[in-house]
Every structure is written in C-alpha cells, then in structure tokens.
Amino acid sequence: MKLVDCARVIRSKNAGPTTLTLDLMFEDERRFRLAQASPALTPAALAPLYGVAAARVRVIAYAPAFAIKIVLPRTTIAGDPGDRDVYGAQQHGPLLGVEL
C-alpha cells in the first residue's frame, strides 16, 4: 500500500529556517500502526529521499492523534539564494511514492 493511499494528510512546512517537518495524519489506528511499523518510514529509508544523513532524521509518532512527524534539516536555508520553497510547503512530494 502506498503512503498516499493510507494517510489522510501528508504535508510539509518549515520549523525555522534550517529545519523541515513532514506531517502524516491517519484516519484510524489501523492505518497509523501500519505506517508506524513500516520500514519505509525509518530515518534510514527517509534520509536518501531528502539527501540528508539518517542521523539527522527524526521520526516521532503521536498515537493519540494517529499522526507521525518527521523532522529533518533543510538542504537550503529558507530564503537563501537558490531556495525554491521558502515556506517548505512543497517538500512532501518525495513521500507520495513511498510504499509501506
């Protein structure tokens, strides 16, 4: 199952000029647990999608909300020359093809 078919919300945003967060929200506990247990959502699997070291990726599950937050460094500081997404709102794209 693809993440895009399992998650109700997949979005990204800045958490400061050097940090990006990716939010995954699920309709129910079954889908949340499926995603939480998937090797595709580990730091080692996510790091290559964003060109960062796995040690710099944090995956935080919050069961009461059926949500997962992924925190990683931005490869370009927000607003620097060459930054094409100053708000970080379009950085969730690589997650759309993830197979759980």
Give the pLDDT mean for 38-45: 98
Is 92 a member of any domain?
no
**Structural domain for 31, as ranges:** 3-75
pTM equals: 0.94
**pLDDT value for 8:** 97
Mean pLDDT (whole number) for 67-94: 95
3-class SS of residue 9: strand
- The domain that holds 67 is classified in CATH as 3.30.70
Q: What is the mean pLDDT of residues 3-8?
A: 97
Domain count, the chain: 1
Given a contact cutoff of 8 angstroms between Cβ atoms, the answer to whether 7 and 83 are in contact is: no
Q: How far is CA 37 from the centre of its chain?
A: 15
Q: CB 40: neighbour CB atoms within 10 A?
A: 14
Q: Span 83-90, mean pLDDT?
A: 94
